[in-house]
Amino acid sequence: MLAGATLESMNQYIVTLSCIDRPGIVHAISGGLLGAGCNITESQQFLSPETGTFFMRIEVQTQQSLEQARASLAPIRDQFAMSLKVAEGADRVRTMIMCSKAGHALNDLLFAQRAGTLAIEVPVIVSNHLDLKPMAEFYGVDFVHLPVTPSNKMQAEAELLKLAEDYDIELVVLARYMQILSDSLCERMEGRVINIHHSFLPSFKGAKPYHQAYARGVKLIGATAHYVTADLDEGPIIDQEVTHVSHTRTAEQLVELGRSVEGRTLTRAVQWHAEHRVMLDGQRTIVFS
């Protein structure tokens, strides 16, 4: 800690960067942070062997303002042609949650937000059904009913974008939202929409996948949280979890186990995104967990 400074008086920032790898990056960024009066409290880095891209995430403390810290690092950013961001460590990401009828993933997210363990702020929940309106009211979150049909899909998505603008939304989370977003919407919000699905049941698509899995006697179920792209359920993966099951489990028990896995996996993915721990490397993600 800097002389004369207390923890309460220090600003906490998160620095993330990526660029083509070359000698001197760590030395330069460390020197730039020192010049900005920053004390490094956490640092992680990774070199992607496939793309030759260098990734780094650093947590710092300093008495300088956010603008001063960004200005101090700007010459290094330009020198190495970096994609560089400096974010407030205490910021909570304004998040819109979209859901349909199943409330397990929504409840996990809202509970973690209220408990203070998830760095998001949820001002609005959007659903194509009314089933989860009571849950939104319980948590004191605005609820918008936005029905989607083949005939009004474009209009509904236009209203969705308007809501994102009105509520100053930075992240959209699909918490078992049972509608497919259009390619244009996915491209417009690339890297800002996270989805959850039952990835470890690839042979069981459509309705009641856990019941299909039960009929086939599966021994492993799980979930994947990923960024949404125009390729359905094939966006960059953020987190995955599996759990073993045996022949003694009923189809209904598989559903409950699957819901628990989905909720945990989605919450972790949102947490890592909100803490600026996820960086894109082509179709892969670098996760500094």
Catalytic residue IDs:
233
Report the helix count and the strand count for the chain, using DSSP H and E: 8, 13
Would you give the DSSP letter of residue 63?
S
Judge whether 144 and 160 are in contact, CB under 8 Å.
no
Smallest CA-to-CA distance from 161 within 180, 123, 189, 133 is with 189
Separation between Cα atoms, residue 271 and residue 239, nearest integer Å: 11
Q: Which two tokens stand for residue 270?
A: 């949102």
Q: What is the full DSSP assignment across 78-113?
A: HHTT-EEEEEETT--EEEEEEE-S--HHHHHHHHHH
Q: Which two tokens stand for residue 13?
A: 């920032």
Separation between Cα atoms, residue 183 and residue 79, nearest integer Å: 36
